[in-house]
Every structure is written in structure tokens, then in C-alpha cells.
């Protein structure tokens, strides 16, 4: 389904981005995501699910102003929970679609039957959400002082 041993993932089209799960829905993950997307806009053809790992993290996101950054970039913060990590609700990746996910596990069908998932850091997920492609996040970072 488009993945071959030795192929670079850089430049691969992305249909979905998932940031969340109990292991990668921490405040640190959302801070990292915000550091890339601040002042930018979400790629129009990418569906992005931002799902905090707990209500505590959801509150921190709001208190730290990260929600404003997400909203300005075109993202919507969802309720804490499993979401696309397990595809237990409507948050499933359709067959033949590609996702970048910060969840901690991947096996065939985990995020939806016939879907393809690339596990990545919140920084890579943010870069993909902005460009619509698997992108090295360093290409989008502001120059470090």
C-alpha cells in the first residue's frame, strides 16, 4: 500500500493526523505541536484530531493559551479519550488513507481496517498537519536564537 523497504517517508501525502492517546496526549506533546503550528494554517486536505490524554491536560491547554494557537491555525481540540488510537468511535482512518499518529502502537487495522499509519513525534505530526505531507519539522521551525 505504498510503503517499500528503504523508501523515504519524507514527502509522502498525509490524509489524517492524530495527536493524542494516553501516552502521547501529555501537555508537553501539545506544547511541541503548538511550537510548530503557531502562526501557520492547517493543510486544507488533512483531517486533524487533537485529543488530550486527560481532562487535566485539556485544562492546561486552555490555561496556557495553546487552544488559541490551535484555533487560529484551524485545529479543533476534541474531548479527552482514546479516539483514533484504537478507532473505538467514529475516529477511524478509512481504507487506503494515510495517517501520521503520535499513538504508541501500530499494527494492521488498529486505526481502521485497510488504513496505513506512520507513528511519529508531535513535532512531525504538526509539520504534516501544516504541509499535508510527511515533513521534517526542522523545515518549519523558526530560527533558534
CATH number for the domain spanning 55: value is 3.30.499.10
Report if residue 98 sits inside a domain: yes
32 domain-assigned: yes
Domain count of the fold of the chain: 1
| Number of neighbours of residue 3 by Cβ within 10 angstroms | 10
Domain annotation covers residue 141? no
Residue 11 lies in a domain: no
CB atoms within 10 A of CB 144: 5
Average pLDDT, integer, range 131-143: 84
Whether 9 is in a domain gets the answer no
Only one residue has cell 500500500, namely: 1
Average pLDDT in the chain: 81
Residue 47 lies in a domain: yes
Q: Would 81 be classed as within a structural domain?
A: yes
1 domain residue, yes or no: no
For residues 129 and 76, the model is more confident at: 129
d(CA 124, CA 138): 9
Q: Global pTM?
A: 0.85
Domain that holds residue 26: 16-135
Range in 46-50, 70-74, 85-89 the model is least confident about: 85-89
Amino acid at each position: 500500500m505504498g510503503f517499500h523497504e528503504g523508501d523515504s517517508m519524507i514527502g509522502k501525502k498525509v490524509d489524517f493526523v492524530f495527536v493524542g492517546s494516553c501516552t502521547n496526549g501529555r501537555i508537553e506533546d501539545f506544547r511541541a505541536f503548538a511550537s510548530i503550528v503557531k502562526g501557520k494554517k492547517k493543510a486544507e486536505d488533512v483531517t486533524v484530531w487533537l485529543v488530550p490524554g486527560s481532562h487535566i491536560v485539556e485544562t492546561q491547554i486552555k490555561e496556557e493559551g495553546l487552544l488559541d494557537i490551535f484555533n487560529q491555525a484551524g485545529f479543533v481540540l476534541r474531548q479527552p479519550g482514546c479516539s483514533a488510537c484504537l478507532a473505538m468511535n467514529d475516529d477511524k482512518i478509512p481504507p487506503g488513507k494515510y495517517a501520521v499518529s503520535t499513538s504508541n502502537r501500530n499494527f494492521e487495522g488498529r486505526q481502521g481496517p485497510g488504513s496505513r499509519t506512520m507513528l511519529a513525534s508531535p513535532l512531525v505530526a504538526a509539520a504534516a498537519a501544516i504541509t499535508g505531507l510527511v515533513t521534517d519539522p526542522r523545515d518549519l521551525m523558526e530560527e533558534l536564537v
